[in-house]
């Protein structure tokens, strides 16, 4: 069985967020992701999504870099070869880095690969869970009252775990207020690497440690594993690594250093579904708990994340909320919904497990290019 792609189209799709989202680095009112559609010689269609932020603040990639990498390198690689497995196509790419762009082309391959096997992506991966528990990731707000209102909205929707974005000026007070107002809700925080080694003795960390948080995500920069290791020794609260875990090799370094006790697995950051599963497997073998993070994905990327999150090692609640947390409408059907903070893993059809509404993709597209007909 081989996968022979004859046509690739890429779409730059923009959607407004239901609510603006602010992290330690910036604020966004809309999301722009690159979608990729591949058609095989026998007429099968696969989809992928590059869930990169528009600006290079989370990591160095941004929408334009994904667009460029997919259009000029990764889509041509998909067209050039005939592949047995998604890993074969990934190995055929000689592009270094650019994990978000690779995640999109890898997703297309996994969608097609599982369709040829007559399986949903979740089943093709060996996923064992029918449902995934989901929390919400909440941005920095103007005031603590505003934040409490947003938390209340999501608690009313049934979510039982919230993640709060923090910064040097928005951390302990908001986290404490949420702990006190919602004693039954699990709370965790995410600094997106805003602190530096010189902050290591900041009493903020011991203050946060007193709140009984589920975890503190990525306090220091992606490559500052040593500061994470020093801080983790001092805290009872587990440190969770996100930006730092860019590969299986980096995971091994982080675990050797005891830089964190929990790993956030993201398909985008790891450069694909196969690499994400490999990190899951290594964590599973090492007894390290993991959960599935997100990047405000539209339905395509969200379906792939849910399939990955159905693997047995995913034990902490994910950031894979129902799509109404983010967008008025989505580009897939059925819509991905959370009931009491639980999302069903899409298994309704082979591949991604749900249908992609190409008309919606086209309606929201700022730019569309058929890669076959362009010079590379």
Q: Known catalytic residues? A: 165, 266
Q: Which of 137, 188, 244, 310 binds ligand OSB (CB under 6 A)?
A: 137
Q: Is 117 exposed, middle or buried (0-12, 13-18, 19+ CB in 10 A)?
A: middle
Return the H-helix or E-strand segment holding 136. Answer: strand 136-138
Q: How far is the CB of 306 from ligand OSB (least distance, A)?
A: 12
Q: Could you tell me how many residues of this chain bind Mg ion (CB under 5 A)? A: 3
Peptide bond into 198 cis (omega under 30): no
Q: How far is the CB of 43 from Mg ion (least distance, A)?
A: 39
Decide whether 55 or 84 has the Cβ nearer to ligand OSB.
Answer: 55
Decide whether 263 or 306 has the Cβ nearer to Mg ion.
Answer: 263
Q: Does 242 bind Mg ion (CB under 5 A)?
A: yes
Please choose, from the candidates 107, 109, 131, 111, the residue with its C-alpha nearest in 3D space to the C-alpha of residue 121.
111
Q: Which of 32, 61, 87, 190 binds Mg ion (CB under 5 A)?
A: 190
Q: Does 296 bind ligand OSB (CB under 6 A)?
A: yes
Candidates 42-50, 123-131, 240-248, 362-370 — which segment interacts with Mg ion by CB under 5 A?
240-248
Q: Does 319 bind ligand OSB (CB under 6 A)?
A: yes
Please choose, from the candidates 192, 204, 187, the residue with its C-alpha nearest in 3D space to the C-alpha of residue 166.
192
| Kind of pairing between the strands at 290-292 and 262-265 | parallel
Residue 148: how many other CB atoms lie within 10 Å: 17
Q: Does 295 bind ligand OSB (CB under 6 A)?
A: yes
Decide whether 17 or 229 has the Cβ nearer to ligand OSB.
Answer: 17
Decide whether 124 or 267 has the Cβ nearer to ligand OSB.
Answer: 267
Q: Which of 190, 224, 330, 364 binds ligand OSB (CB under 6 A)?
A: 190
Residue 173: how many other CB atoms lie within 10 Å: 12
Decide whether 10 or 262 has the Cβ nearer to Mg ion.
Answer: 262
What are the backbone angles phi and psi of residue 297, rounded to the nearest 5°?
A: -60, 150
Structure tokens at 109: 């391959």
CA distances from 183 to 65, 89, 287 (A): 43, 48, 29
Query: For the window 242-271, what string marks contact with ligand OSB as x by the rule CB under 6 A?
Result: x-----------------------------
DSSP state of 118: T
Q: Does 330 bind ligand OSB (CB under 6 A)?
A: no
DSSP string, 144-185: HHHHHHHHHHHHHTT--EEEEE-BTTBSHHHHHHHHHH-TTS
For residue 295, the partner it binds in ligand OSB, Mg ion, none, with Cβ less than 5 to 8 A by kind, is ligand OSB
Candidates 101-109, 280-288, 290-298, 356-364 — which segment interacts with ligand OSB by CB under 6 A?
290-298
Binding site for Mg ion (CB under 5 A): 190, 217, 242
Binding site for ligand OSB (CB under 6 A): 53, 58, 137, 190, 192, 242, 293-296, 319, 321
């Amino acid at each position: 069985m081989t996968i022979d792609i004859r046509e690739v189209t890429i779409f730059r799709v923009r959607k407004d967020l239901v609510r603006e989202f602010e992290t330690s680095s910036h604020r966004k009112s809309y999301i722009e992701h690159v979608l990729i559609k591949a058609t095989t010689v026998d007429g099968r269609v696969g989809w992928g999504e590059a869930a990169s932020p528009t600006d290079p603040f989370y990591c160095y990639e941004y929408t334009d870099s994904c667009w460029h990498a997919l259009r000029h390198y990764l889509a041509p690689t998909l067209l050039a070869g005939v592949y047995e497995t998604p890993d074969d196509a990934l190995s055929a790419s000689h592009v270094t880095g650019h994990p978000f762009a690779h995640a999109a082309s890898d997703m297309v391959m996994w969608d097609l690969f599982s369709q040829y096997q007559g399986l949903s992506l979740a089943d093709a991966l060996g996923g064992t869970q029918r449902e995934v528990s989901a929390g919400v990731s909440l941005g920095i707000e103007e005031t603590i009252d505003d934040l409490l209102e947003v938390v209340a909205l999501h608690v009313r929707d049934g979510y039982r775990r919230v993640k709060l974005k923090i910064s040097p000026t928005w951390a302990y007070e908001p986290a404490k207020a949420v702990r006190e107002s919602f004693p039954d809700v699990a709370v965790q925080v995410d600094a997106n690497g805003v602190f530096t080694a010189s902050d290591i003795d900041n009493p903020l960390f011991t203050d946060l440690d007193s709140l009984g948080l589920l975890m503190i995500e990525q306090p220091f920069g992606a490559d500052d594993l040593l500061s994470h290791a020093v801080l983790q020794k001092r805290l009872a609260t587990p440190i969770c690594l996100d930006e730092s875990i860019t590969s299986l090799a980096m995971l091994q370094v982080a675990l050797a250093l005891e830089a964190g006790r929990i790993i956030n697995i993201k398909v985008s950051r790891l450069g694909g579904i196969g690499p994400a599963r490999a990190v899951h497997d290594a964590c599973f073998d090492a007894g390290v708990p993991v959960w599935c993070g997100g990047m405000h994905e539209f339905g395509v990327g969200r379906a792939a994340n849910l399939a990955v999150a159905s693997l047995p090692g995913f034990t902490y609640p994910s950031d894979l909320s129902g799509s109404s947390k983010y967008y008025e409408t989505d580009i897939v059907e059925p819509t991905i919904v959370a009931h009491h903070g639980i999302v069903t893993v899409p298994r309704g059809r082979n591949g991604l497990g749900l249908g992609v509404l190409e008309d919606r993709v086209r309606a929201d597209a700022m730019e569309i290019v058929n890669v076959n007909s362009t010079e590379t």
